[in-house]
Amino acid sequence: MIVVTGAAGFIGSCLVSKLNSEGFNHIIVVDKFDNEEKNKNLEGKRILESIDRDDFFTWLDTVGEKVEFIFHLGARTDTAEFDKDLLSKMNTEYTKQIWEKCIQYQIPLVYASSAATYGLGEYGYDDNQENIPNLIPLNPYGESKNDFDKWAITQEQQPFFWAGLKFFNVYGPNEYHKGRMASVIMHAFNQIDKTGAMKLFRSHNPEFKDGEQMRDFVYVKDVVDVCYFLMHHRKDSAIYNLGSGKARTFLDLVKATFKAMDKKEDISFIDTPADIRDKYQYFTEANMAKLKSIGFTQEFTSLEDGVEDYVKNYLSSHSYY
């Protein structure tokens, strides 16, 4: 049995699809299952059992020895959430409980960290674990993720294999339910589809021209390929970056979206809202050397190819992966 927490969510449901495609059908999906729009992500997938996240540990205590692997992708992921107690409970403490159960039942673990832990990138974007205690996340969500990373690397007792993945800007199918938190590509598609044009945030940093703010955009299909690789690798426990390794501009992204939609470019700029302006990241790029050093040699999908696949095969028909 393979457990996927957050399984009805964006990355979780894509991972279930990947596992099914590789012949793994004894999947235990863990989530709240109280959002009908989100639950559509799991329709048609081969699943052994669905467990409410509040019942997960009780369930695990009855079948722990039979679980082969846990992917812990469930979290409170709203970067605008400011209830620190809620984030600590959902993101930090819940993950500690999973860690301890993985030790008890000798289950390997892959869990979701986040590039939000890097803050403004004062220490760069290297997944060097010595830097983790120094990082300054920009919001309580990033703090809750970094708090767990800091805890994990100091533990004397660890699962026999574990990996934390610092997801950068993941985009791709199965994020219809995410609303404001969906990827810029999905927002661009919807805006272009509705108005024929796209508005981007103006740059308020003299080092960057309008629209040339840069992010590391990574296609969700690459993300689940890395998860699948680690499920078989099961050594070199550590925290790893998971981006494409190549920063691209928002202009690149939007131009690729116009092209994939076969529409004429019409891009304008609006001021970045004042309340987020001082916390706005102008550049992120994952150093991917560490993951490559343990044998992940697959090339990451280019932004243009990823956007084309996403737009043509999913967004334009509201299809699921």
Which residues belong to the annotated binding site?
10-11, 31-32, 38, 53, 73-77, 145, 169-170, 178, 180, 187, 201-204, 215, 280
CA distance 90 to 95: 8
CA distance 252 to 250: 5
DSSP string covering 176-231: GGGGGGS-HHHHHHHHHHHHS-EEEEPP-STTS-TT--EE-EEEHHHHHHHHHHHH
Measured CA distances, 164 to 1, 45, 99, 208 (Å): 21, 26, 11, 32
- Token pair recorded at residue 110: 């892959």
178 included as an active-site residue: yes
290 included as an active-site residue: no
Question: Which residue's entry shows tokens 């674990």?
Answer: 129
Annotated binding site for substrate: 169, 180, 187, 201-204, 215, 280
Q: Of 141, 219, 228, 314, which one is the catalytic site residue? A: 141
Q: Of 40, 150, 178, 199, which one is the catalytic site residue? A: 178
Annotated binding site for NADP(+): 10-11, 31-32, 38, 53, 73-77, 145, 170, 178
130 secondary structure, DSSP code = G
Residues marked active site are found at 141, 178
